[in-house]
Amino acid sequence: MASTAVVNLDWRSSPESKEILNAIQRLFADGDSEGEMTMIFSKSLARGIINLELVDNVLMVTRQGRTYKRKVTNQVQYWAKLLDVATTLYNMQVDRQALNSRFLEYKEIDPEMQGNLPVVKRKTLDLALTIGAHPAALGIVYEEIGKVHLPQKVTVETLRVTDVFAFNNRDKSAAPQDGCTSTKLSPGENAIPRSVVKLRVNISLAFGAVLSAVIVVEHRNLEDMITNHQFAMQDVVVVMTAGPPSGATKEFLHLLCNDPALQNIPFLYFADHDMQGFSIFQTLKYGSRNSAWASASMVCPRLQYVGPTKEDLLESVQEYRPLWKQAYRQTHPQDTPGQAQKKEHKVKSKFDGKTPKDNEMYTAFKNIGWMEYEPLAKREIEKIMGSSKAASLRNDPSRLLKFRLADLTVADPRYLRQYFQAKLQEYCLDRRTVDPETPAVESQRLPSQASSNALAGGRVTRNTSALDESDAANPFTGGAPDLSPGAQAIEDFARYEIP
Protein backbone atom coordinates (compact mmCIF):
# COMPACT_ATOMS: atom_id res chain seq x y z
CA MET A 1 0.00 0.00 0.00
CA ALA A 2 1.49 3.34 -1.10
CA SER A 3 1.44 6.71 0.60
CA THR A 4 -1.73 8.71 0.21
CA ALA A 5 -2.86 12.26 -0.41
CA VAL A 6 -6.23 13.83 -1.01
CA VAL A 7 -7.52 13.23 -4.52
CA ASN A 8 -8.91 16.33 -6.21
CA LEU A 9 -9.88 15.95 -9.85
CA ASP A 10 -11.19 18.87 -11.88
CA TRP A 11 -11.89 18.45 -15.59
CA ARG A 12 -11.01 22.13 -16.15
CA SER A 13 -7.37 21.35 -15.37
CA SER A 14 -7.15 17.84 -16.83
CA PRO A 15 -4.14 16.58 -18.80
CA GLU A 16 -4.05 16.52 -22.57
CA SER A 17 -5.25 13.51 -24.55
CA LYS A 18 -1.74 12.31 -25.30
CA GLU A 19 -0.90 12.26 -21.60
CA ILE A 20 -4.09 10.32 -20.85
CA LEU A 21 -3.26 7.81 -23.57
CA ASN A 22 0.28 7.38 -22.27
CA ALA A 23 -0.97 6.90 -18.71
CA ILE A 24 -3.39 4.15 -19.77
CA GLN A 25 -0.65 2.43 -21.75
CA ARG A 26 1.83 2.60 -18.86
CA LEU A 27 -0.70 1.24 -16.38
CA PHE A 28 -1.27 -1.96 -18.34
CA ALA A 29 2.33 -2.24 -19.52
CA ASP A 30 3.47 -2.25 -15.89
CA GLY A 31 0.86 -4.91 -15.14
CA ASP A 32 2.16 -7.13 -17.92
CA SER A 33 5.81 -6.75 -16.94
CA GLU A 34 5.45 -6.95 -13.14
CA GLY A 35 2.41 -9.21 -12.88
CA GLU A 36 0.63 -6.71 -10.64
CA MET A 37 -1.04 -3.34 -10.99
CA THR A 38 -1.20 -0.35 -8.66
CA MET A 39 -4.78 0.93 -8.46
CA ILE A 40 -7.07 3.30 -6.58
CA PHE A 41 -10.38 1.52 -5.98
CA SER A 42 -13.37 3.85 -5.97
CA LYS A 43 -15.43 1.60 -3.69
CA SER A 44 -12.75 1.00 -1.10
CA LEU A 45 -14.20 0.74 2.42
CA ALA A 46 -10.89 1.06 4.23
CA ARG A 47 -10.92 3.24 7.33
CA GLY A 48 -9.76 6.79 6.69
CA ILE A 49 -10.46 6.79 2.94
CA ILE A 50 -13.43 9.18 3.24
CA ASN A 51 -13.13 12.14 5.64
CA LEU A 52 -14.80 15.43 6.47
CA GLU A 53 -12.00 17.96 6.26
CA LEU A 54 -11.39 21.68 6.13
CA VAL A 55 -9.88 22.56 2.75
CA ASP A 56 -9.06 26.23 2.21
CA ASN A 57 -11.57 27.16 4.93
CA VAL A 58 -14.35 25.08 3.36
CA LEU A 59 -15.63 21.97 5.13
CA MET A 60 -16.09 19.15 2.62
CA VAL A 61 -16.02 15.40 2.12
CA THR A 62 -12.61 14.34 0.82
CA ARG A 63 -11.12 11.13 -0.52
CA GLN A 64 -7.66 9.80 0.19
CA GLY A 65 -5.78 8.49 -2.84
CA ARG A 66 -4.71 5.30 -1.15
CA THR A 67 -3.26 2.88 -3.70
CA TYR A 68 -3.23 -0.91 -3.64
CA LYS A 69 -1.06 -3.41 -5.48
CA ARG A 70 -3.00 -6.37 -6.82
CA LYS A 71 -1.67 -9.37 -8.72
CA VAL A 72 -3.18 -9.74 -12.16
CA THR A 73 -3.35 -13.54 -11.87
CA ASN A 74 -5.52 -13.33 -8.71
CA GLN A 75 -8.30 -11.29 -10.30
CA VAL A 76 -8.23 -12.19 -13.98
CA GLN A 77 -11.89 -11.33 -14.62
CA TYR A 78 -11.57 -7.88 -13.04
CA TRP A 79 -8.45 -6.99 -15.06
CA ALA A 80 -9.97 -8.33 -18.28
CA LYS A 81 -13.04 -6.14 -17.88
CA LEU A 82 -10.89 -3.20 -16.81
CA LEU A 83 -8.90 -3.64 -20.01
CA ASP A 84 -12.13 -3.60 -22.04
CA VAL A 85 -13.18 -0.34 -20.40
CA ALA A 86 -9.70 1.16 -20.81
CA THR A 87 -9.60 0.17 -24.48
CA THR A 88 -12.94 1.87 -25.13
CA LEU A 89 -11.87 5.04 -23.28
CA TYR A 90 -8.57 4.98 -25.16
CA ASN A 91 -10.38 4.79 -28.49
CA MET A 92 -12.71 7.59 -27.40
CA GLN A 93 -9.66 9.82 -26.91
CA VAL A 94 -8.30 8.89 -30.31
CA ASP A 95 -11.65 9.34 -32.07
CA ARG A 96 -12.63 12.42 -29.99
CA GLN A 97 -15.93 10.76 -29.09
CA ALA A 98 -17.69 11.72 -25.85
CA LEU A 99 -20.45 9.80 -24.08
CA ASN A 100 -23.24 11.08 -21.89
CA SER A 101 -23.04 9.68 -18.37
CA ARG A 102 -26.61 8.43 -18.64
CA PHE A 103 -26.89 4.98 -17.14
CA LEU A 104 -27.81 3.00 -20.25
CA GLU A 105 -25.13 4.56 -22.41
CA TYR A 106 -22.50 2.68 -20.46
CA LYS A 107 -23.53 -0.22 -22.69
CA GLU A 108 -21.42 1.49 -25.33
CA ILE A 109 -18.37 0.95 -23.16
CA ASP A 110 -19.06 -2.74 -22.59
CA PRO A 111 -22.20 -4.10 -24.32
CA GLU A 112 -21.71 -7.54 -22.73
CA MET A 113 -22.32 -6.14 -19.22
CA GLN A 114 -25.92 -5.06 -19.72
CA GLY A 115 -27.01 -6.81 -16.53
CA ASN A 116 -24.21 -5.32 -14.44
CA LEU A 117 -23.81 -1.76 -15.65
CA PRO A 118 -22.84 -0.33 -12.23
CA VAL A 119 -19.71 -2.46 -12.44
CA VAL A 120 -18.76 -0.68 -15.67
CA LYS A 121 -19.24 2.68 -13.99
CA ARG A 122 -17.09 1.54 -11.06
CA LYS A 123 -14.29 0.35 -13.32
CA THR A 124 -14.41 3.59 -15.27
CA LEU A 125 -14.01 5.54 -12.03
CA ASP A 126 -11.28 3.18 -10.79
CA LEU A 127 -9.33 3.93 -13.95
CA ALA A 128 -9.94 7.68 -13.74
CA LEU A 129 -8.77 7.88 -10.11
CA THR A 130 -5.71 5.74 -10.79
CA ILE A 131 -4.41 7.75 -13.73
CA GLY A 132 -5.46 11.07 -12.18
CA ALA A 133 -7.89 12.23 -14.85
CA HIS A 134 -11.46 13.41 -14.23
CA PRO A 135 -14.03 11.10 -15.93
CA ALA A 136 -15.16 14.08 -18.04
CA ALA A 137 -11.62 14.34 -19.41
CA LEU A 138 -11.96 10.70 -20.45
CA GLY A 139 -15.08 11.63 -22.42
CA ILE A 140 -17.81 10.75 -19.88
CA VAL A 141 -19.79 13.98 -19.63
CA TYR A 142 -22.53 14.83 -17.13
CA GLU A 143 -26.25 14.75 -17.76
CA GLU A 144 -28.34 17.92 -17.93
CA ILE A 145 -31.06 16.90 -15.48
CA GLY A 146 -31.53 19.83 -13.13
CA LYS A 147 -33.39 23.06 -13.87
CA VAL A 148 -32.86 26.66 -12.82
CA HIS A 149 -35.57 29.33 -12.85
CA LEU A 150 -34.35 32.93 -13.14
CA PRO A 151 -36.53 35.94 -12.26
CA GLN A 152 -37.14 38.68 -14.80
CA LYS A 153 -34.25 40.84 -13.72
CA VAL A 154 -31.56 38.14 -13.74
CA THR A 155 -29.54 36.51 -16.51
CA VAL A 156 -26.57 34.17 -16.27
CA GLU A 157 -23.81 34.21 -18.89
CA THR A 158 -21.85 30.99 -19.14
CA LEU A 159 -18.73 29.78 -20.85
CA ARG A 160 -19.27 26.07 -21.38
CA VAL A 161 -17.31 23.29 -23.03
CA THR A 162 -18.90 21.61 -26.04
CA ASP A 163 -15.81 19.64 -27.11
CA VAL A 164 -13.98 18.28 -24.06
CA PHE A 165 -11.11 16.94 -26.15
CA ALA A 166 -10.42 20.26 -27.88
CA PHE A 167 -10.64 21.94 -24.47
CA ASN A 168 -8.15 19.54 -22.87
CA ASN A 169 -5.71 20.00 -25.74
CA ARG A 170 -5.98 23.79 -25.87
CA ASP A 171 -3.12 26.20 -25.34
CA LYS A 172 -3.36 26.51 -21.56
CA SER A 173 -1.35 29.73 -21.53
CA ALA A 174 -4.12 31.53 -23.43
CA ALA A 175 -7.75 32.26 -22.65
CA PRO A 176 -9.94 29.11 -22.80
CA GLN A 177 -11.70 29.33 -26.15
CA ASP A 178 -10.97 26.03 -27.91
CA GLY A 179 -13.93 23.69 -27.52
CA CYS A 180 -15.99 26.38 -25.72
CA THR A 181 -19.09 28.35 -26.49
CA SER A 182 -20.79 31.25 -24.72
CA THR A 183 -24.47 30.95 -23.83
CA LYS A 184 -26.90 33.04 -21.81
CA LEU A 185 -29.56 31.70 -19.47
CA SER A 186 -32.59 33.97 -19.72
CA PRO A 187 -35.40 34.69 -17.25
CA GLY A 188 -37.70 31.70 -16.86
CA GLU A 189 -36.89 27.99 -16.72
CA ASN A 190 -33.56 26.78 -18.09
CA ALA A 191 -31.87 23.39 -18.16
CA ILE A 192 -28.77 23.54 -15.98
CA PRO A 193 -25.92 23.33 -18.49
CA ARG A 194 -23.07 20.88 -18.10
CA SER A 195 -19.34 21.50 -18.44
CA VAL A 196 -19.48 25.17 -17.41
CA VAL A 197 -16.00 26.68 -17.17
CA LYS A 198 -17.19 29.91 -15.60
CA LEU A 199 -20.33 31.98 -15.30
CA ARG A 200 -21.37 35.53 -14.54
CA VAL A 201 -24.66 36.54 -12.91
CA ASN A 202 -26.16 39.82 -14.13
CA ILE A 203 -28.79 41.53 -11.98
CA SER A 204 -30.64 44.48 -13.48
CA LEU A 205 -30.73 47.43 -11.11
CA ALA A 206 -33.66 49.07 -12.87
CA PHE A 207 -36.49 50.23 -10.58
CA GLY A 208 -34.46 49.33 -7.52
CA ALA A 209 -34.67 45.58 -8.17
CA VAL A 210 -33.07 43.32 -5.56
CA LEU A 211 -32.50 39.58 -5.71
CA SER A 212 -33.59 38.10 -2.37
CA ALA A 213 -32.35 34.51 -2.32
CA VAL A 214 -31.31 31.39 -4.18
CA ILE A 215 -33.74 28.60 -3.30
CA VAL A 216 -32.83 24.95 -3.83
CA VAL A 217 -35.56 22.29 -3.94
CA GLU A 218 -35.65 18.67 -4.99
CA HIS A 219 -38.79 18.61 -7.13
CA ARG A 220 -39.52 20.57 -10.29
CA ASN A 221 -43.26 20.59 -9.62
CA LEU A 222 -42.76 23.28 -6.96
CA GLU A 223 -41.44 25.84 -9.43
CA ASP A 224 -44.80 27.31 -10.46
CA MET A 225 -45.83 27.87 -6.87
CA ILE A 226 -42.52 29.39 -5.78
CA THR A 227 -42.31 31.82 -8.69
CA ASN A 228 -46.01 32.71 -8.90
CA HIS A 229 -46.29 36.48 -9.30
CA GLN A 230 -49.40 36.58 -7.11
CA PHE A 231 -47.34 35.78 -4.06
CA ALA A 232 -44.48 38.27 -4.49
CA MET A 233 -41.82 35.56 -4.78
CA GLN A 234 -40.56 36.40 -8.26
CA ASP A 235 -37.29 37.85 -6.94
CA VAL A 236 -35.65 34.49 -6.17
CA VAL A 237 -33.50 32.14 -8.22
CA VAL A 238 -34.86 28.58 -7.96
CA VAL A 239 -32.54 25.58 -8.50
CA MET A 240 -34.35 22.25 -8.91
CA THR A 241 -32.20 19.13 -8.58
CA ALA A 242 -34.87 16.69 -9.87
CA GLY A 243 -33.92 14.04 -7.34
CA PRO A 244 -30.30 13.30 -6.42
CA PRO A 245 -28.29 16.07 -8.14
CA SER A 246 -26.20 15.34 -11.20
CA GLY A 247 -22.60 16.47 -11.45
CA ALA A 248 -23.68 19.34 -13.70
CA THR A 249 -26.13 20.61 -11.06
CA LYS A 250 -23.55 20.42 -8.27
CA GLU A 251 -20.93 22.27 -10.32
CA PHE A 252 -23.44 24.93 -11.38
CA LEU A 253 -24.55 25.59 -7.79
CA HIS A 254 -20.88 25.75 -6.73
CA LEU A 255 -20.23 28.44 -9.34
CA LEU A 256 -23.33 30.40 -8.32
CA CYS A 257 -22.15 30.26 -4.71
CA ASN A 258 -18.83 31.84 -5.71
CA ASP A 259 -20.24 34.49 -8.07
CA PRO A 260 -19.45 38.05 -6.86
CA ALA A 261 -23.00 39.25 -7.54
CA LEU A 262 -24.45 36.70 -5.09
CA GLN A 263 -22.09 37.05 -2.14
CA ASN A 264 -24.73 38.73 0.05
CA ILE A 265 -27.56 36.49 -1.11
CA PRO A 266 -28.64 33.54 1.09
CA PHE A 267 -28.74 30.03 -0.40
CA LEU A 268 -31.70 28.18 1.15
CA TYR A 269 -32.49 24.47 0.86
CA PHE A 270 -36.09 23.29 1.30
CA ALA A 271 -36.08 19.51 1.66
CA ASP A 272 -38.47 16.64 1.73
CA HIS A 273 -38.62 15.53 5.37
CA ASP A 274 -37.00 12.16 4.64
CA MET A 275 -33.52 10.71 4.53
CA GLN A 276 -33.08 11.25 0.79
CA GLY A 277 -33.85 14.94 1.26
CA PHE A 278 -31.12 15.20 3.89
CA SER A 279 -28.75 13.14 1.73
CA ILE A 280 -29.21 15.66 -1.10
CA PHE A 281 -28.44 18.46 1.35
CA GLN A 282 -25.23 16.72 2.44
CA THR A 283 -24.21 16.18 -1.19
CA LEU A 284 -24.80 19.81 -2.18
CA LYS A 285 -23.17 21.42 0.85
CA TYR A 286 -20.43 19.01 1.89
CA GLY A 287 -20.07 16.51 -0.95
CA SER A 288 -20.74 12.79 -1.07
CA ARG A 289 -18.74 9.61 -0.80
CA ASN A 290 -19.28 8.77 -4.47
CA SER A 291 -17.86 12.07 -5.71
CA ALA A 292 -15.52 13.00 -2.85
CA TRP A 293 -12.66 13.12 -5.35
CA ALA A 294 -14.27 16.26 -6.87
CA SER A 295 -15.82 17.96 -3.81
CA ALA A 296 -13.70 21.08 -4.21
CA SER A 297 -15.48 21.96 -7.47
CA MET A 298 -18.95 20.81 -6.42
CA VAL A 299 -19.83 21.93 -2.88
CA CYS A 300 -21.95 24.95 -1.95
CA PRO A 301 -20.75 25.82 1.58
CA ARG A 302 -23.22 28.71 1.98
CA LEU A 303 -26.26 26.47 1.59
CA GLN A 304 -28.55 26.50 4.65
CA TYR A 305 -31.06 23.83 5.60
CA VAL A 306 -34.37 25.59 6.26
CA GLY A 307 -36.97 22.86 6.74
CA PRO A 308 -39.73 21.84 6.89
CA THR A 309 -40.09 20.21 10.30
CA LYS A 310 -42.74 17.87 11.62
CA GLU A 311 -44.33 20.80 13.41
CA ASP A 312 -44.65 22.76 10.16
CA LEU A 313 -46.90 20.09 8.65
CA LEU A 314 -49.06 19.80 11.75
CA GLU A 315 -49.42 23.58 11.94
CA SER A 316 -50.81 23.63 8.41
CA VAL A 317 -53.93 22.00 9.82
CA GLN A 318 -54.24 24.48 12.66
CA GLU A 319 -53.78 27.51 10.40
CA TYR A 320 -56.37 26.47 7.86
CA ARG A 321 -58.80 24.39 9.92
CA PRO A 322 -61.61 27.06 9.86
CA LEU A 323 -61.31 27.73 6.12
CA TRP A 324 -60.94 24.04 5.38
CA LYS A 325 -64.03 23.08 7.36
CA GLN A 326 -66.10 25.81 5.74
CA ALA A 327 -65.04 24.84 2.22
CA TYR A 328 -65.57 21.17 2.97
CA ARG A 329 -69.14 21.72 4.21
CA GLN A 330 -69.93 23.67 1.04
CA THR A 331 -68.54 21.04 -1.33
CA HIS A 332 -69.67 17.97 0.63
CA PRO A 333 -73.07 18.92 2.14
CA GLN A 334 -74.23 15.30 2.24
CA ASP A 335 -71.26 13.95 4.15
CA THR A 336 -71.85 12.69 7.64
CA PRO A 337 -69.81 14.16 10.50
CA GLY A 338 -67.79 10.95 10.58
CA GLN A 339 -66.78 11.31 6.92
CA ALA A 340 -65.80 14.94 7.43
CA GLN A 341 -63.71 13.97 10.45
CA LYS A 342 -61.92 11.33 8.37
CA LYS A 343 -61.11 13.93 5.74
CA GLU A 344 -59.68 16.22 8.38
CA HIS A 345 -57.11 13.59 9.36
CA LYS A 346 -55.68 13.50 5.83
CA VAL A 347 -52.65 15.50 6.90
CA LYS A 348 -51.57 13.01 9.53
CA SER A 349 -51.92 10.19 7.01
CA LYS A 350 -49.05 11.72 5.05
CA PHE A 351 -46.56 10.77 7.75
CA ASP A 352 -44.50 7.65 7.14
CA GLY A 353 -41.99 5.64 9.16
CA LYS A 354 -38.35 4.77 8.65
CA THR A 355 -37.09 1.85 6.56
CA PRO A 356 -33.92 -0.30 6.60
CA LYS A 357 -32.53 1.98 3.86
CA ASP A 358 -32.97 4.95 6.21
CA ASN A 359 -30.88 3.13 8.82
CA GLU A 360 -28.07 2.73 6.26
CA MET A 361 -28.17 6.39 5.32
CA TYR A 362 -28.20 7.47 8.96
CA THR A 363 -25.10 5.37 9.61
CA ALA A 364 -23.41 6.97 6.59
CA PHE A 365 -24.30 10.46 7.89
CA LYS A 366 -22.75 9.67 11.28
CA ASN A 367 -19.63 8.17 9.73
CA ILE A 368 -18.98 11.31 7.70
CA GLY A 369 -19.85 13.59 10.63
CA TRP A 370 -21.57 16.48 8.87
CA MET A 371 -24.65 16.46 11.15
CA GLU A 372 -22.58 17.93 14.00
CA TYR A 373 -22.42 21.17 12.02
CA GLU A 374 -26.15 21.24 11.20
CA PRO A 375 -28.13 21.24 14.48
CA LEU A 376 -31.54 21.84 12.86
CA ALA A 377 -31.08 19.08 10.30
CA LYS A 378 -29.66 16.75 12.94
CA ARG A 379 -32.71 17.29 15.17
CA GLU A 380 -35.10 16.39 12.36
CA ILE A 381 -33.05 13.38 11.27
CA GLU A 382 -33.04 12.01 14.80
CA LYS A 383 -36.82 12.45 14.92
CA ILE A 384 -37.12 10.33 11.79
CA MET A 385 -34.84 7.67 13.22
CA GLY A 386 -37.01 7.55 16.33
CA SER A 387 -40.11 6.74 14.26
CA SER A 388 -41.50 3.30 13.55
CA LYS A 389 -43.20 1.86 10.49
CA ALA A 390 -45.22 -0.37 12.78
CA ALA A 391 -46.75 2.74 14.31
CA SER A 392 -48.92 3.16 11.23
CA LEU A 393 -50.62 -0.12 12.05
CA ARG A 394 -51.52 1.22 15.48
CA ASN A 395 -52.82 4.50 14.02
CA ASP A 396 -50.22 6.44 15.97
CA PRO A 397 -49.13 9.23 13.58
CA SER A 398 -47.08 10.95 16.26
CA ARG A 399 -44.37 8.33 15.65
CA LEU A 400 -44.43 8.64 11.84
CA LEU A 401 -42.20 11.54 10.88
CA LYS A 402 -41.31 11.30 7.16
CA PHE A 403 -43.22 13.41 4.65
CA ARG A 404 -42.68 15.36 1.44
CA LEU A 405 -42.32 19.11 1.18
CA ALA A 406 -45.34 19.21 -1.14
CA ASP A 407 -47.44 17.66 1.66
CA LEU A 408 -47.60 21.11 3.25
CA THR A 409 -50.33 21.76 0.65
CA VAL A 410 -52.58 18.96 1.96
CA ALA A 411 -54.56 21.18 4.30
CA ASP A 412 -54.61 24.13 1.91
CA PRO A 413 -52.34 25.07 -1.05
CA ARG A 414 -51.82 28.51 0.40
CA TYR A 415 -49.94 27.21 3.42
CA LEU A 416 -46.87 26.16 1.41
CA ARG A 417 -46.74 29.59 -0.20
CA GLN A 418 -47.08 31.19 3.20
CA TYR A 419 -44.35 28.90 4.52
CA PHE A 420 -41.89 29.92 1.81
CA GLN A 421 -42.65 33.58 2.36
CA ALA A 422 -42.18 33.32 6.12
CA LYS A 423 -38.85 31.57 5.69
CA LEU A 424 -37.65 34.16 3.22
CA GLN A 425 -38.58 36.87 5.70
CA GLU A 426 -36.63 35.03 8.36
CA TYR A 427 -33.48 34.41 6.34
CA CYS A 428 -33.45 37.51 4.11
CA LEU A 429 -32.83 41.12 5.00
CA ASP A 430 -35.71 42.59 3.03
CA ARG A 431 -39.41 42.45 3.95
CA ARG A 432 -41.67 40.68 1.52
CA THR A 433 -45.28 41.15 0.52
CA VAL A 434 -47.55 38.43 1.85
CA ASP A 435 -50.70 37.39 0.01
CA PRO A 436 -53.55 39.28 1.75
CA GLU A 437 -55.78 36.21 1.51
CA THR A 438 -53.26 34.13 3.41
CA PRO A 439 -53.64 34.09 7.21
CA ALA A 440 -50.66 35.52 9.06
CA VAL A 441 -48.14 33.18 10.61
CA GLU A 442 -47.02 33.70 14.14
CA SER A 443 -43.27 34.10 14.02
CA GLN A 444 -42.65 31.93 17.06
CA ARG A 445 -44.08 28.93 15.24
CA LEU A 446 -41.23 28.94 12.75
CA PRO A 447 -37.89 27.39 13.72
CA SER A 448 -35.13 29.92 14.27
CA GLN A 449 -32.27 30.02 11.80
CA ALA A 450 -29.70 27.39 12.63
CA SER A 451 -26.12 28.48 13.02
CA SER A 452 -25.12 25.71 10.67
CA ASN A 453 -22.13 27.50 9.23
CA ALA A 454 -20.31 27.86 12.55
CA LEU A 455 -17.20 25.72 12.64
CA ALA A 456 -15.88 26.81 16.02
CA GLY A 457 -15.35 23.82 18.24
CA GLY A 458 -16.19 21.42 15.43
CA ARG A 459 -14.31 18.32 14.45
CA VAL A 460 -11.78 18.94 11.68
CA THR A 461 -9.29 16.24 10.86
CA ARG A 462 -6.65 18.35 9.12
CA ASN A 463 -6.01 21.12 6.64
CA THR A 464 -5.31 19.47 3.31
CA SER A 465 -3.83 22.61 1.80
CA ALA A 466 -0.62 21.83 3.69
CA LEU A 467 -0.20 18.32 2.26
CA ASP A 468 2.88 17.66 0.17
CA GLU A 469 3.01 13.87 0.19
CA SER A 470 4.06 12.07 -2.96
CA ASP A 471 1.51 9.93 -4.75
CA ALA A 472 2.73 7.11 -6.92
CA ALA A 473 -0.73 6.73 -8.42
CA ASN A 474 -0.45 9.94 -10.46
CA PRO A 475 1.46 9.08 -13.67
CA PHE A 476 1.43 12.67 -14.92
CA THR A 477 3.37 14.49 -12.23
CA GLY A 478 4.83 11.79 -10.05
CA GLY A 479 3.71 13.90 -7.10
CA ALA A 480 0.63 14.76 -5.10
CA PRO A 481 -2.55 15.72 -6.98
CA ASP A 482 -3.48 19.38 -7.16
CA LEU A 483 -5.24 20.19 -3.91
CA SER A 484 -6.61 23.60 -4.84
CA PRO A 485 -10.42 23.88 -5.02
CA GLY A 486 -12.27 24.02 -8.32
CA ALA A 487 -12.71 27.72 -7.73
CA GLN A 488 -8.99 28.16 -8.28
CA ALA A 489 -9.30 26.76 -11.80
CA ILE A 490 -11.99 29.34 -12.46
CA GLU A 491 -9.75 32.06 -11.08
CA ASP A 492 -7.12 31.15 -13.67
CA PHE A 493 -9.60 32.18 -16.35
CA ALA A 494 -10.51 35.48 -14.70
CA ARG A 495 -8.89 37.51 -17.45
CA TYR A 496 -11.25 36.03 -20.04
CA GLU A 497 -14.43 38.06 -20.50
CA ILE A 498 -17.55 36.24 -21.60
CA PRO A 499 -18.75 37.93 -24.80
| Helices 117-131, 17-34: crossing angle, 10 deg rounding | 100
Residues of the chain with pLDDT under 50: 1-3, 103-104, 340, 388-398, 430-499
CA pseudo-torsion sign 253, 255, 258, 260: negative
The pTM for the full model equals: 0.79
130 forms beta bridges with: none
54 forms beta bridges with: 59, 463
Backbone angles phi, psi at 197, to 5 degrees: -75, -45
Backbone angles phi, psi at 443, to 5 degrees: -60, -30
Cα angle at 35 between 29 and 39, to 5 degrees?
Answer: 70
For residue 232, the one-letter residue type is A
Give the per-residue pLDDT at 192: 95
Query: What is the C-alpha to C-alpha distance for residues 464 and 484, in angstroms, rounded to an integer?
Result: 9
Tens of pLDDT along 245-254? 999 999 999 9
Query: What is the C-alpha to C-alpha distance for residues 162 and 321, in angstroms, rounded to an integer?
Result: 54
Give the per-residue pLDDT at 96: 84
Query: What is the C-alpha to C-alpha distance for residues 413 and 225, in angstroms, rounded to an integer?
Result: 9
Cβ-contact 369, 282 below 8 angstroms: no
Among candidate residues 332, 266, 301, 334, the one with its CA nearest the CA of residue 55: 301
H or E element in which residue 160 lies: strand 154-161
| Contacts within 8 Å (CB) and 24+ apart, 380-383 | 380/273, 380/278, 380/307, 380/309, 380/310, 381/275, 381/278, 383/310
